[in-house]
Amino acid sequence: MAVSLRLDAKMEKELELCAKRTGHSKSELLRNIISDFLQQENAKLSAWELGKDLFGAAASVDGSLSINRKQIIKEMIDAKKKRH
């Protein structure tokens, strides 16, 4: 995916100098900076926030087990009581 980025003259010059000094392209430097930033931000997320879209989805036909677990358990208990 191509992304267009506007930098002020000072930042552009600093990026160019850093690229020359490190032997990396400007694009590579920017990719690394963005990657580092995203890793830092993801490290701030809790396990719940990182996986909330996945929790309970495999055990429930409609993917709502983690959200509606109390209601589902109640219905299962009620159904069991009716059988006995």
Residue 19: HSE in the Cβ half-sphere, 13 Å Cα cutoff? 15
Q: Residue 76's pLDDT is what? A: 86
The pTM for the full model equals 0.52
Mean pLDDT of the residues in the chain: 85
Give how far Cα 21 sits from Cα of 6, 27, 29, 83, Å.
Answer: 22, 14, 11, 77
Q: What is the pLDDT of residues 30-44, one digit of tens each?
A: 999 999 999 998 888
The list of the chain residues with pLDDT below 70 reads 56-67
Q: Which tokens sit at 21?
A: 């000094």
Contacts of 72 (CB under 8 A, 6+ apart): 60, 65
Are 29 and 22 spatial neighbours (Cβ–Cβ below 8 Å)?
A: yes
- Domain ranges in the chain? 24-83
